[in-house]
Amino acid sequence: MLKQKRSFFERLTGAKDVPGNAYRESVPVYTEEEETAISMREPAPAFNAARGNEEAWTPSATNANQQSGNDGAEGQLTIDVYQTENDIVIKSTIAGVKPEDLDVSINNDMVTVKGERKNEEVVENGNYYYQECYWGAFSRTVLLPVDVIPEKADAALKNGILTIRLPKADTTKTKKIQVRGF
């Protein structure tokens, strides 16, 4: 009996070629009635470069909820965390938020930043061409890589960038105590 060389796909997946027309037609996962009942997010408008225009598009209810921030979802801040010789530094871009609207809390080995970005202009549904900015509540919790001194922490907001400086606790210092005799 002659051994037949397997294809790359057969070797990769362990599948075997079925001789003849033994393949079955693909089976739909669900019927058309079930398919139309599935709710999906509306796709972004399609741009046709050849025609140079966008197809007709209307914003969905999801976009309206993002604008007003009332859909219950909370945005997550993007951050940079790095260390210097004496500090752990957390930086985040927080444009459009007043310092008094930010809440920075330090709890054991975690730092949490909370706030809300409010859209001061109300735009009616259907008037947006693009809506990519996040409006509403946001937060971010960061686990700290080393022990810090929370009492000496400092937070500053300048030009839309929040900078939190957390002094490292010096755990390498050895403290000598005197032993008393009785």
> Per-residue pLDDT tens for 112-167?
999 998 888 888 878 888 888 888 899 999 999 898 999 999 999 999 999 999 99
Q: How far is CA 140 from the centre of its chain?
A: 10
Which pLDDT belongs to residue 110?
Answer: 92
Which pLDDT belongs to residue 81?
Answer: 95
Strand order in the sheet with 161-167: 79-83, 87-93, 161-167, 154-158
What is the fold, at CATH topology level, of the domain defined by 61-167?
Answer: Immunoglobulin-like (2.60.40)
Which pLDDT belongs to residue 67?
Answer: 44
Q: Is the pLDDT of residue 30 over 70?
A: no
Among the ranges given (18-22, 38-42, 102-106), the one the predictor scored with the smallest mean pLDDT: 38-42
User: Domain extents for the chain?
Assistant: 61-167
pLDDT bucket at 35, cuts 50 / 70 / 90:
low
The contacts of residue 163 (CB under 8 Å, 6+ apart) are 89, 90, 91, 155, 156, 157
- How far apart (Å, rounded) are the C-alpha atoms in residues 92 and 81? 9
Which pLDDT belongs to residue 47?
Answer: 47
pLDDT bucket at 65, cuts 50 / 70 / 90:
very low
The contacts of residue 112 (CB under 8 Å, 6+ apart) are 103, 104, 105, 139, 140, 141, 142
